[in-house]
Each structure stands twice: as C-alpha cells, then as structure tokens.
Structure 1
Amino acid sequence: MGAEVTSAAFSREQRINFRQKVVLDLDVFERMLEDARFDFTRPQMGLEIELSLVDDGLDAALINEEVLSDLHDANFTSEVGRYNIEINVPPRPMAGDQAVRLERWLSQSLRNAGDTAREHGARVVATGIIPTLQAEVFDGEWLSLGVRYTALNDAVLNERGEGMQLDIEGPTGEQVVQYFETIGPLSGCTSVQLHQQVTPQDFPTYWNAASVISGIQIAMGANSPYLFGKRLWAETRVPLFSQMVDTRSEELKHQGVRPRAYFGRHWITSIFDLFEENVNCFPALLPEASDEDPVKTLHEGHTPDLSELKLHNGTVWRWNRPIYDNANGMPHLRVENRVLPAGPSAVDMVANACFYYGLLEKLTSSGRPIWTKMSFADGEQNFFDACRDGIATTVTWPGLGRVAATDLVADHLLAQAEEGLAALGLRRQVREHYLSLIEGRCAAKQNGASWQVATTEAYEAAGYDRNGALKEMFGHYVEHQEENRPVHTWPVPSVEPVSGDGSTPR
C-alpha cells in the first residue's frame, strides 16, 4: 500500500503545498526523461506477493504483527489488513536456472513463514481472496498498525464523502450487495506484482504489451471466485479492489471521471503520459510533502527522489502501473504488472511469472507491435471478460477474431513465450518445465478459480451447505499448496453424501 506517512490528517495548506510540489516533480521528471541517464543493465524479474493468515478453522487470523515480530525476515512486511503479510522477492535475472532458484527460495520462505505462523495457531496461505472470508471480520480491529493504513482508509472515505458500497454479481446470479463504513474488504485482495525494469524509450512498448497480456494472464491464473460465501467472478479480486478504492460519487461516475483502480484509456507513447494523467486527473489522497527541492537536486547533478510524484502514483492503482525510483543515486523505471492473484502454489506463481516475462519479451522485440493491430477497447474487454469467466473465457485477438483463451495460449502464445524466455537466456529445460504447467491448465481447463468452484460444488452436491463446502474445499487447497503441487493436477474430490442439516461434519 505504498510509502509510510507521518500523519493521517492533512490541512488545506498541506494539500495546496503538495499540489505545488507534485506539479514541480512532474516538470523535473519531464526534464529527466529528456536528459538523464536511467539505470538499465539487463532484464530482471522482481516480485511482490501478498499473503493471508488463517487460523485452525481456516478463518482470517488477525495476528500479522505477532507473526512478523517472530519471523525475523526483512523480506516480509505487513499489509493493510491484520491478516495480511507481504513477501518482497529480491530482483534476479530471468536467465539460466533462475526460475528454479526462485521457486526454491519462495518455497523455503513460505515454509519459514508458515512455521512461525503455526506457533501462533495460524497458517500462511496464498490465494486471491480467502474463500472463507466473512464480512463480520471488518466490524472489529481489522486494520494493520501503521499510520499509512489509517491515513489511506480515512483518505478514501473522506474523498468519497461516505462509506463504500459493494455490488458484485456472479455468473449464476449470486450477488454481494453491502455497505461498509471502512475500506476493510480491500484487504481481502492479495496479489502477485511482477516488475520489469525498462529504459524510458522502451517503457511505452512494455506498458502497452503488458496491457495486451493482462487478460490472458487472468484467464490462466484466476484464483478468487468466492467472497462472503457467494460465488462471484473468477477473479473477484478485481471488482472488489476497484470498488473499495473508488472515491467517486455516483454523479462523478456518470460524468466519466476516471476510477482510481484503472485499466487505462488508450495506448501510450511515453511514460510521461501516465504520470501527467495522475497529476491532472486524480486528487491527492495522502498529501504529505517532503523537504526536497527537486530542481536544485537535479541542477547539482544528483538524482531527485520525486517523493510527491511517487507517493501520489502509489494511490492510483492501475493494473499496469508506472514506477519511478531512485536506487543508490541512479534513477530507474519499471512496469509494475498487478493483475495476478496470489497462489495457488509456489510453482504456479513461478510459472505465471515465466509466462508473463517470456510473452512480454516476445511481444516487445519482434515484428509489428501487437497493440497496433487491436484496439485498446478490445484489450480492456479481454481483461474484464477474463476476470468474470476465468479459464473459460474467449478473447479477441489479432488475426483470429474471437477465440477461446485456452486455445489461443496452447496453439500460439506458449510458443511465443518460449521464444521470449530463450531470448532472455532461461535454460531450455527450465522454460519448458514452467510453460508446461500453463499448457497443463489449458488441457485440463483448470486453474485456481475453476478448481475452487468444482470442489465446492462437489461438497454441495453431497449435501454440505455453502459455508461447510467452502471450509472443506479450502482445507484441500491449503494442503495442495503446502505440498507445492501445480494447480492443474489438483483432483476434484469424490465426496460421500452427508445427512442432517448439511453443515460441516467436523
């Protein structure tokens, strides 16, 4: 949820000062794009993975501070909800056998965190939304400690002028319509964020390509079909997050004001397009100004932090977000791809990363750019169709028209991703292994979301009520995840009928 702030309340003068500083930062950033040397050595993959803590009953465990204090691992931090933690994966090249090393590192880190959580009667789980999550959690002390979390909650509510209305309907007609006095349900959304460092010249090429790929990523990787006991979208995390950070009134929505969780409006020609849109179109949520004079810093030959521009950018939640940063005095730019949910297993998350980085490399390095052959509206529609329908979705693709996502991936995109990974230097056996997992999902037509639905329905058909079925399904989910089994191999269990009222027989 971005950088720390020192206050949860801001005066009118602070807002005016911040506005002036963020405009100044934007001017300096434009000059840097024209004149500065941005760091770029070789393609590297960087990941952030948001995780959940659940108790022995597989309900949210509000103990992240206790777990983190005993974990003693600087790669883990808190997140917005007290049942959330996040792991930051150190950047590494997508070459050699680094994907295998990443899976080993990630698996060991998750085991270590899980061992620590067990000492507190909890387990660590990677899933887009905890399927057993209930709205009552947000009636209590759900918000993590830290000023930035309180400030974010207050800022969203203040900007909106009222509480948050949630309204999501699933494909079978099940629906969640509920009003919240806080942004609490936002904390239910846990994602994998993939970072790609690029040059200023290449940024628009990579951002456009990432936007094209986003719908395909969701189709292959959806993992969030349930919320508050209801079956909703295959990737319910997307509409849930979008609605929980939507600061617009109904009037502003009808006027066409942009939402803060945002796919975009058009292909871009410069990273400056996105930062300029931030400044011109989105009011500041956390207007805390720094003491930096970016003009003086740049004039003296140093790299400005552009703290205001970065802080403001952190409160515009594009599904593919531009990142500016200053590392050891050297500026660099990244595309942050935020579309994927956490889970189902470590090997699945590494496979998702390999598929993304390979396809991104191929689409940005050969032939006519794909986004020049399709409309931005088609790319956006692909994304939201995949969020709703998951692995069963059809997409619009240049030269193919409407095509099943599984056929598109199996027949066309896996080969392109393999070529991209080869160009990046990933060993043949490694790239074939991880891409075979994506191929397996296409053949089985099974990802995390479809498995969750099929397993829950198997328990319901045997006489379990919805909550009991979700508990049983989630128990299997956690076991398969801890065994690090790829999701396309997860069996849908045969369930013996139950008698009585259909509640969980534990």
Structure 2
Amino acid sequence: MGDEVSAQEFSRADRTRHREKVRRCLDVFARMLREARFDTDDPMTGLEVELNLVDDRGDPALRNVEALDAIADPDFVTELGQFNIEINVPPARLREGGLAQFEDQLRRSLNDAEQKSSEVGAHMVMIGILPTLAEGHLSLDSITPNPRYKLLSEQIMSARGEDIAISIAGPERLATTADSIVPEAACTSTQFHVQTSPDQFAAYWNASQAIAAIQVALGANSPYLLGKELWRETRIPLFEQATDTRSEELKAQGVRPRVWFGERWITTVFDLFEENVRFFPALLPVTEDEDPIEVLEDGRTPQLQELRLHNGTIYRWNRPVYDTVDGVPHLRVENRCLGAGPTVVDLIANAAFYYGLVRSLAESERPLWSQMSFSAAEENFHAAAQHGIDTQVYWPGIGQVRVTELVLRRLLPLARQGLEAWGVPDAEGGRLLDVIEQRCLTGTNGAEWFARRMRDRSDLDRYDALRATLEDYRQRMHTNEPVHTWD
C-alpha cells in the first residue's frame, strides 16, 4: 500500500504547501532525467504477492496482525483488510536464476508462514478475490488498524462526498454500496517489477500496457464476489469502482479515475508522473522537510517523498516507480494486472511470460504500439477481465483473434526469445512457459476451474458451495501442481 503515514487532519494550507512541494519534486525529477543520474547497468526484477486469510471453514479470518506476529518475518506486511497480508520477495536478476529464486523463495516462505499462521486460526490462500467474502466483511470494522489505511479511506470518501456504488454484471449481477474503501481489500494482486533505464522506460511501459489484456485473460482468477458469479477477473471492475473518488457529475465531465488504464502511449517516464500531478489532487498531503533541490545540488539523491506518496495513490495497472537503493535512484515498471495464485508455479509462469514478452516487444524494431490504438488496448483489457481465457482481442496484423490462439502461435515464441535475451536458461524458461502453453491448450485457468467446480455443486447453498470449492482449491494450491492439471 505504500509509505506509512501517521494519523492526522489536513488544513487548506497543508494542501497548498503540499501541491507546491509535489511540483518542486516533479521539477527535480525532470532535471535528474536530463542529467542521467539513474542506476541502469544491471536491471533487477521484483515480485510482491498479496494473500487472503481464511479460517478452518474457509470464511475470511480477520487476523492479519496475529498472523504477522506469528510469522515474524519482515518480508510479510499488512494490507488494507484484516483478512489480507502481503509478501515482498527479495529482488533478483533473471540472468542469475531469478525466476528459480523467486519460485524457491516464495514456496519456502509461504510454507513456513502457513504453518505458523495456522496456529492462530489463519490459513493463507492465493486467489484474486476471496469467494467466501460476504457483505459483513466489507465494513469499516475490517480495515487493518494502521493510520494510513483509515486516513486513505477518509480522504477518498471525503473527495467523493457519497457512498461508493458497486455494480458489476456477468453471468449474475451485483449491485451494492460501501461507506469506505474496504471493498478494495477484496482485490489481492501479484505485482511484477522490472527495472529499466529512463531511455527505455516508455517502451517497457507501452509494451506492458499492450499485453495487459493477454496477461489478464490467461491469469484470470477471481470469478466470484459476495456470492455472485461475475467477471472472470472481477478484481478489475471492483478495484476501479471501490477506489473511485468521482461523483456521477465528475464522471460525466470526463474527470479521470484514480484507478486508471491511461489514455495514451507515452514517450518518456516523465509523461506519467506529470499526468499524475496535473490530473489528480493529493489524497495524503503529507509534506516532509527535505528540500529536493538542495539535496540534488549537494550531490546527493533526493527521496522525492511527496511525489512518490502521490504516485502511490494513483492506481495505474502499470505504475511508474521512482525509488532509491543505497543512495542510487532507479526506475521500474510495476505491473499490477494479475491476482495471486492459483499455485506458486502458476504465479511464476505468469512472471516468466510477462518478463519475456515485455522484453521482446519493448526491444522490437517496429513497436507494437505504433500499430495499435491505445483505445484498442484498453478495450482488450476490459474484455479479458470479463471473459478470461475465452476472450477475443484485437491484435495488429490479425484483427480479432482468440487469446489462446494468439498466445500459442505468436506470443509464446516472443516470450521465449525475451527470456533468452534476459539470460534465462532454456530449461528454466521453457518449463514455466510450458505451463502457459498447457493453460491455452486446455482452456483452464484459476477462474475457469473454480467456475466449473461451482457448477458441479449447483444443488448446494451458494456459500456452502463456495466454501467447499475453496477448500478443494486450497488443498490443490499446496500441491504446487499447475491449475491446468487439477482435473
């Protein structure tokens, strides 16, 4: 969820001062880009995974504080809801066996954490939306007792001025309201980070945007919310609606949403940070003492804390990140399209597909985004969220095509080339991309498996069926056999 903030109230003067500071940070950021002050020599990749907690029945366990105390591992941290936690996997270089490191580290950490958290009645589940969530779990009482989360909810609700309306139509229809942003906690995600130079950032971001629909179609894993079968990746519309600060009137005026696909291909990373400052008022106008100009001119690296905090409250599906390590700044794309799971091997296969494909496309002589409108990429994205692995998308040079056919014929070979360019051993990359291939051949991802199992239990009470199916899911999750093999 980003940097910590303390509980406080903000005056008009606070907001004015913060806006001025954010713009000063933006000016310094532009100067740093011109002066090539970034770490670009040996790019790192990273991984974050948000998890759900359930009790022995499969219902949400509002025990993340107790679970984290039991786990006692600094890689595990809180998330918005008391039924969420997150693991931050140490970054790695793909040429140094990064994918294998991610898989091994994640498996060991999750197995250890599950053993310890189960002792306080909290079991971990990797799934996009916990299907056993009920209306009562999405109240303000479920928010994690951290000042940042409460403050963020208050600021979003204040900006909106009315309750949040959630309306999603799929095979069934859901219409409900919320008086806080807690429904956002239902959306647990996997985040892939790829470090890049300022010169290459636009290409990697544009490529990430272009393939976001493909990722979502193949990795969809949240078909149920509040007892209803909705979109195959219901996280997408839920997150867009649950964090929307706009009233109906502002929507009608064309004001941009804070959960945002974007509206254009970019030419530089500065485009994204500048849009964030120009289009969006601050939700958390916390101002630090650092003078970024003074720090820069002193030969040190500014933290640009206000710009980073503001950037963290604009939820692009591919987010630009400025960060520093040991006093050296770097840039990375944070790919946020996918939910977690179903298994570690499925998750790392998704990572291999993303890292390989994004590199091939970003370094192509004829960029994909020069052949495709941005609106087509956005339409593909929402179609994939709705229909999952059965989606048809628009693709340059082909037209409308089924996602599985596109992946098998065109994109998997590109992903293999990209992994080779990263220096990933053939055996390592091939094993993971074979998981993606089999998903396409069988037409089975997490969402499809779950929906089929639910149809087999159509004679049961809906929540009894959800609990039973989630228990099946959780048992298979622990085998680490990819989801396409489960049946």
TM-score tier, shorter chain, comes to over 0.9
The C-alpha deviation readout for 1:389-424, integer Å capped at 9, x for no partner, is 000000111111100000000111101100110111
Alignment of 1:188-207 (within 5 A): 188-207=186-205
SS at the partner of 1:141?
Answer: helix
| Preserved contact between residue 18 and residue 289 of structure 1 (Cα < 8 Å) | yes
1:447 partner amino acid = N
- 2:167 is matched with 167
1:125 lines up with 2:125 in the alignment: yes
Query: For the structure 1 residues 161 and 459, does the alpha-carbon distance in structure 2 shift closer, same or farther, using more than 3 Å as the test?
Result: same
Q: Secondary structure at the match of 2:198?
A: coil
Residue 210 (structure 1) shift: 0.3
C-alpha separation in 2, matches of 1:429 and 1:295: 48
Structure-2 residue corresponding to 1:496: none
Report the 3-state secondary structure (helix = DSSP H, G, I; strand = E; otherwise coil) of the residue aligned with 1:224: coil
Report what 2:35 is aligned to.
35
Cα 1:325/1:96, change in 2 over 3 Å: closer
CA distance in structure 2 between the partners assigned to 1:364 and 1:44 by the alignment: 16
* C-alpha distance in 2 between matches for 1:122 and 1:448: 22
Is it true that 1:311 corresponds to 2:321 in the alignment? no
Tell whether the 8 Å contact from 1:8 to 1:154 is kept in structure 2 after alignment: no
Cross-structure match for 2:79: 79
User: Which one of 416, 419, 422 corresponds to residue 417 of structure 2?
Assistant: 419
2:344 maps to which of 340, 343, 346: 346
The corresponding residue for 1:445 is 443
SS in 2 for 1:201: helix
Tell me how many residue pairs correspond in the alignment. 487
Structure 2 counterpart of 1:23 = 23
Separation in 1, partners of 2:184, 2:139: 14
Could you tell me which amino acid in structure 2 is paired with residue 94 of structure 1?
L
For residues 173-222 of structure 1, what are the alpha-carbon distances to aligned partners after superposition, in whole Å with 9 as ceiling and x for unaligned?
x1111111111111010000011111111110100000011000001000
**Residue of structure 2 in register with 1:269 after alignment:** 267
Quick one: distance in 2 between partners of 1:151 and 1:270? Answer: 32
Q: Give the aligned residue type for 1:328.
A: D
Question: Residue 457 of structure 1 contacts residue 469 of structure 1 at CA under 8 Å; is this kept in 2?
Answer: no
Matched, 1:280 2:263: no
Give 1:385-424 correspondences, 5 Å limit: 385-424=383-422
Taking the aligned partners of 2:100 and 2:23, their CA distance within structure 1 comes to: 44
Shift of 1:378: 0.7
How far 1:95 sits from its partner (Å)? 2.2
Q: Which residue of 2 aligns with 1:382?
A: 380
Structure 1 residue 56: Cα displacement: 0.6
Range that drifts further, 359-368 or 380-389: 359-368
Residue number in structure 1 paired with 2:55? 55
CA contact under 8 A between 1:8 and 1:150: conserved in structure 2? no
The C-alpha deviation readout for 1:372-400, integer Å capped at 9, x for no partner, is 01111111111110000000000111111
Percent identity over paired residues? 49
Q: Check whether the contact 1:106–1:346 (CA below 8 A) recurs between aligned residues.
A: yes
Question: Helix, strand or coil for the counterpart of 1:110?
Answer: helix
Match of 1:465 among 437, 461, 465: 461
8 Å CA contact 1:359, 1:416 repeated in 2: yes
Q: So what's the TM-score if we normalise by structure 2?
A: 0.99
Question: What do the CA deviations read for 1:264-295 (whole angstroms, capped 9, x no partner)?
Answer: 00000011111111111101000000001011
The equivalent residue for 2:152 is 152
Indicate the SS of the match to 2:216. Answer: helix
Is 2:174–2:228's contact at 8 Å kept on the other side of the alignment?
A: yes
2:220 pairs with 1:241: no
> 2:370 is aligned with what amino acid?
T
Letter in 2 for 1:175: R
CA distance in 1, matches of 2:365, 2:352: 21
C-alpha distance in 2, partners of 1:225/1:9?
38
1:227 maps to what in 2?
225
Contact 2:139 2:180 in 1 (8 A): no
Q: 2:481 is matched with which residue: 476, 480, 485? A: 485
Unmatched tracts of structure 2, length 5 or more: none
Give 1:97 deviation, angstroms: 3.5
Shift of 1:96: 4.8
Query: Which blocks of at least 5 consecutive residues in structure 1 are unaligned?
Result: 492-506
Counterpart contact for 2:159–2:245, Cα < 8 Å = yes
- Give CA deviations for 1:97-127 in whole Å, capped at 9, x if unaligned: 4322321211111111101111012211110
Q: Are the counterparts in 2 of residues 96 and 427 from structure 1 also a CA contact under 8 Å?
A: no
Q: Runs ≥4 in structure 1, deviation > 4 angstroms?
A: none
Give CA-to-partner distance per residue, 1:226-255, whole Å, 9 cap, x none.
000000011000111110110001001011
Shift of 1:137: 1.2
Whole-Å Cα distance in 1 between the matches of residues 201 and 113 of structure 2? 35
TM-score scaled by structure 1?
0.95
Show the counterpart of 1:500: none
1-structure distance, mates of 2:96, 2:414 = 18
Contact 1:166–1:176 (CA under 8 A) maintained in structure 2:
yes
Q: Matches of 2:173 and 2:96 in 1, distance apart?
A: 47
Q: Distance in 2 between matches of 1:385 and 1:303?
A: 42
- RMSD of the TM alignment (CA)? 1.0
